[in-house]
Structure 1
Amino acid sequence: MVNGSGTRYGAIAQFFHWCTAILVLVAFIYGPGGPEQRVYSSAHEFDRRLHETLGLCVFALAVIRLLWRAFDTRPAAPDGPRWMSVLATVVQWVLYLLLLALPLTAITGAWLQGHPLTLVAGIEISPLFAASHGAGATFASVHEWLGDLIMWLAGLHALAALFHHIVLKDDVLTTMLPRWFPTGRTRSSR
């Protein structure tokens, strides 16, 4: 099922979700982090290139996800307190905002510091505006802070899905899992 239904997300939305999660995690792991001298050192060249490449992929995927979301059918929210539904919606939109803001702050910070965007394929995209090192350092710091924030928020998002599955015993988690993924539930328990 490519499109979503009233009971679960479609295969494309599931692919976007899990691909985004994996890309963000790998980008976080390979982010060189730290002071500018460390990030742009030759010892961290591959990590930086991989991190920047994955960041661009995350940005592109987030834009595509948002476009797909505009046309796709999403499952209905489970029965429960209104605050849970509101909180889930807020967290989803904050995650989308972070998926867009993280790459944009990284690119802006690098360019303001006078560094090109460097990709794994050996492609370099030169800064599109004049250097302002102090502003670039600020954007780089914001990028690091947002990177930590998205990991915490994604972790809480995952814990909430597990809470729904294990404690509330509803189908929130299974709506985003492929049909073939074992959930430990039989059809009669749904």
Structure 2
Amino acid sequence: MASSPTIRYGALAQTFHWLTAVLVVTAFILGPEGSEDEVFRGADLGRQAHETLGLAVFVLTAARLLWRLADRRPDPPDVARWMDIASKAVQGALYLLLCAVPLSAVIGTWLEGHPVTLLAGIEVAPMIAASHSLGERVSELHGLLGDTLIWIAGLHAAAALFHHYFLKDTVLVTMLPRWLKK
């Protein structure tokens, strides 16, 4: 007896996906701006939330990648070869950025000689030797990577909507909960 095709990702994979999206957007919005002195002055709740969310994104991404090894994925729709390649490239870039953005934040912060400060004032002291100028460059890279993540995630969302409304395939539906109408 042949198994029926898988149409959607499972509930856990969908939860990982949408929770990651919410955390990334929220962290981006709460991201501190300004000079190093402004960013690291006092116990700023926005910075604490940003750093906590960033760490949560990293942990969630690690769990998501591990889950991906065991989870059954939907059958891919028939698309042009270039779309399949583009899809895999965007997905790979997103996973890479979901790891690189939080790691660059932690490394840049520590190199600048500051602790990572989480909600409730929990501080994770630098675990690497300070190199202020390198830390500044890594922190600038963090900002660039964060912007790139938002742009690529936006492209990813736009492509899903294009598939749904113009190509009328199941790409978007695969990540929507069953209770949500197509």
Question: Do Structure 1 and Structure 2 share a fold, with TM-score over 0.5?
Answer: yes
Distance 1:109 1:9 in 2: 36
Partner of 1:27: 27
Output the amino acid matched with 1:34.
G
Distance 2:82 2:38 in 1: 44
Distance 1:158 1:55 in 2: 21
Q: CA deviation at 1:41?
A: 2.3
Partner of 2:154: 155
Output the amino acid matched with 1:146.
L
Partner of 2:102: 103
Output the amino acid matched with 2:77.
P
List structure 1 segments (4+ residues) > 3 angstroms apart after TM superposition.
none
Q: CA deviation at 1:6?
A: 2.4
Structure 1: gaps (5+ residues): 184-190
Q: Matched residue pairs, number?
A: 178
Q: CA deviation at 1:35?
A: 1.9
Structure 2: gaps (5+ residues): none
What pairs up with 1:116-135 in 2 under 5 angstroms?
116-135=115-134
Distance 1:147 1:85 in 2: 25
CA deviations 1:13-55 (Å, max 9, x no partner) are 000000000000000000012321121123x711110000000
Identity percentage over the alignment? 56
Output the amino acid matched with 1:133.
H
Distance 1:63 1:81 in 2: 30
Partner of 1:11: 11
Q: CA deviation at 1:7?
A: 1.7
CA contact (8 A) 1:162 1:173 kept: yes
The alignment partner of 1:121 has SS state of: helix
CA contact (8 A) 1:115 1:127 kept: yes
Choose between structure 1 and 2 for higher RCO, CA contacts under 8 A separated by at least 6 residues.
2
Output the amino acid matched with 2:90.
V
- The two structures have a TM-score, normalised by structure 2, of 0.95
Distance 2:48 2:96 in 1: 23
CA contact (8 A) 1:8 1:174 kept: yes
